[in-house]
Amino acid sequence: MTALTLHLHPLSSYCHKVLIGLYEKGIPFEPRTVNLGDPAERKAHAALWPTAKIPLLEDRAAGRVVPETSIMLEYLDQRHSGGPALFPADPERRMQARLWDRLFDQYVMTPMQRIVADRLRPEDRRDELNVTEARQLLDMAYAMAEKQLAVQAWAAGPDFTVADCAAAPALFYAHIVHPFAPELKALPAYFERLLQRASVQRVLQEARPWFRYFPYADRMPARFLEG
């Protein structure tokens, strides 16, 4: 039995972010699916960490749990030297990696989730203004990323980092609910590079049986549903 357990749900974009980091670094772990809709499972999960959010990293060897995806990836980087460093040693590149990790989380992942959550509501309770504002945030974030990626291969520089772990699942779901504008060139090309990454391919392959439950499954490109 491995010392690390990742409490997760296979469809969750934030869980995908941490999975990508684990696969990049080749760290053995036990995935444990949590059904937060089940009161008993939710109570047990909240006993580990009161927010009862997923993912949650449990390190039994150290006797601790680690919440929040960016903190989990930094924890893994500090304690497991194998695989590429997700947080660059150079201070400037490290700051850029942290910055773009936060930008993808806050301005791509979060508005994407707002749009998805609205579709889950009954039609008479949907919030058109909230969705419009979320789409505007995505347009802004796409434009920022387009400029950044026009001059470099990865989000924070020449190497794959925590920022790309965040970008892959954020852009995967976001491009379905709010497609990239035709005039964008660097961002879609970057997204395709992410899709070629072995860690990203593995995460998507494992999530494939669950994609039919995604509220926008009707808009998901066939290439992600086949195989």
Question: What residue spans define the domains of the chain?
Answer: 91-197
Angstrom distance (rounded) from CA 41 to CA 118: 25
- Prediction pTM value: 0.96
Residue 110 parent element (H or E): helix 110-120
Angstrom distance (rounded) from CA 179 to CA 158: 26
CA distances to 146, 162, 224 from 143, rounded to whole Å, are 5, 20, 25
Tens place of pLDDT for every residue, the chain, 227 residues? 679 999 999 999 999 999 999 999 999 999 999 999 999 999 999 999 999 999 999 999 999 999 999 999 999 999 887 788 999 999 999 999 999 999 999 999 999 999 999 999 999 999 999 999 999 999 999 999 999 999 999 999 999 999 999 999 999 999 999 999 999 999 999 999 999 999 999 999 999 999 999 999 999 999 999 76
Angstrom distance (rounded) from CA 225 to CA 204: 10
Q: Using CB atoms within 10 Å of the CB of residue 130, give its burial: 0 to 12 exposed, 13 to 18 middle, 19+ buried.
A: middle
The three-point CA angle 72-216-171 to 5° equals: 40
* Residue 145 backbone dihedrals phi, psi, to 5 degrees: -65, -40
Q: What region, left, alpha or beta, does residue 26 occupy, with left being phi > 0 and alpha being psi -120 to 50 degrees?
A: left
Sequence-ordered list of residues with C-beta below 8 angstroms from that of 147, at least 6 positions apart, any chain: 186
Q: What region, left, alpha or beta, does residue 226 occupy, with left being phi > 0 and alpha being psi -120 to 50 degrees?
A: beta
Which residues partner with 7 through β-bridges? 32, 56
Q: Give the DSSP per-residue string, 153-197.
A: SBTTBSS--HHHHHHHHHHHHHHHHSPPPTT--HHHHHHHHHHHS
What pLDDT, on the 0 to 100 scale, is given for residue 133?
Answer: 98
Domain 91-197 - what CATH class? mainly alpha
